[in-house]
Amino acid sequence: MSSNVLVIGSEGQIGTELCLELEKRDDIVLYRADIRLLTNSERRLYRLDATDQRSIKQLIRELQIDEVYLMAALLSAKGEENPKLAWELNMNSLLHLLDLAKEGLYKKLFWPSSIAVFGPDSPKVDTPQNTTINPSTVYGISKRSGEFWCNYYFNKYGVDVRSIRYPGLISHATEPGGGTTDYSVAIIRAAIGTRNYTCYLKGNTILPMLFMPDAIKATLAIMDAPKESITIRTSYNLGGFETSPELMARSIRRFIPDFEINYSIDFRQDIADSWPQSINDENAIMDWGFESEYDLDRTVEAMIKALG
Ligand code: SER
């Protein structure tokens, strides 16, 4: 029997590539929803504001949805510009979806968390799953609070909600919007275009990153795993590789030798400085077999091939 899957935020950086993968499966009927789309029900596309609770409930009921991926969010940099909106979008949409699952309207929820849950006093290297976690951005606060709500709804009401703390995500299908790690995509686009990039983070700022195919593979793996093997109901750490603007520039120069990088540091430096450099993801490996294929050089090569 096939299941009906709804991706909310289907046109965003993760949603776009997640839908491409879900579409390949013949045991799934995929429905897309995004604030940027015009409804075209024949193509299973719906215009939806993730803060519009009535419309979400109506859509899930009407389409008899079994699984929801809630990918709509305001990221770290945009969130600092508009804290209340970040809280409202990131938190209320999650609480509403958790309630609908509790009411039995659908069966399974995926909700993304982020390395932004970690704060300046968390260990920087090989950051463990459970450690000091005091986020300093509104985005991080919303993600950490959301993690607790997921765990609460699982323990109290049996809601099958699964979550990953994504590191910075590098991808080419859709541009990222409003994150601190966005430079990792912009730098490659600029290298191909003008051969020159002005970076808002210092050259030696190390952050964990993941190429989108690995992130999508992880997302589908956690959703496909048997319920019993999900031992963490807040959110799983996920690593990838560590990189910095300098290391990315070096990797890019293998293909574009005259690429130049300059720096004009802004408020995003403080955000980046509060986050880990590398992540311990042994629980994801143990519980649902996370495995990443792409390191920095392979990611840069694949990005240049796709965009060049
Ligand atoms: N990529 C996100 C950001 O920079 C982190 O989850 O906000």
**Top-level class of domain 3-167+212-237:** alpha beta
* Distance between CA atoms of residues 159 and 170, nearest Å: 31
Closest Cα to atom 3 of ligand 1: 179
How many angstroms does the Cα of residue 167 sit away from the middle of ligand 1? 7
pLDDT for res 9? 97
Alpha helices in the chain (DSSP H): 13-23, 53-63, 76-81, 83-87, 93-102, 138-157, 183-193, 212-224, 245-252, 268-273, 282-288, 296-307
How many angstroms does the Cα of residue 303 sit away from the middle of ligand 1? 19
When the pLDDT of each residue in the chain is averaged and rounded to a whole number, the result is 97
* Distance between CA atoms of residues 81 and 84, nearest Å: 9
Closest Cα to atom 2 of ligand 1: 179
pLDDT for res 60? 98
Pocket of ligand 1 (CB under 6 A): 75-76, 114-116, 139, 166, 168, 179-181
Q: Please give the number of the atom of ligand 1 that sits closest to the Cα of 75.
A: 7
Closest CA to 137 of 200, 76, 74: 76
Return the biggest CA–CA distance within the chain: 58
* Mean pLDDT of the 120-145 span: 98
What is the set of active-site residues? Answer: 139
Q: Please give the number of the atom of ligand 1 that sits closest to the Cα of 176.
A: 1
More confidently predicted of 112 and 1: 112
pLDDT for res 1? 79
The model carries a pTM of 0.97
Break the chain into its structural domains and give their ranges. 3-167+212-237, 170-207+240-279+288-307
Q: pLDDT tens, 89-130? A: 999 999 999 999 999 999 999 999 999 999 999 999 999 999
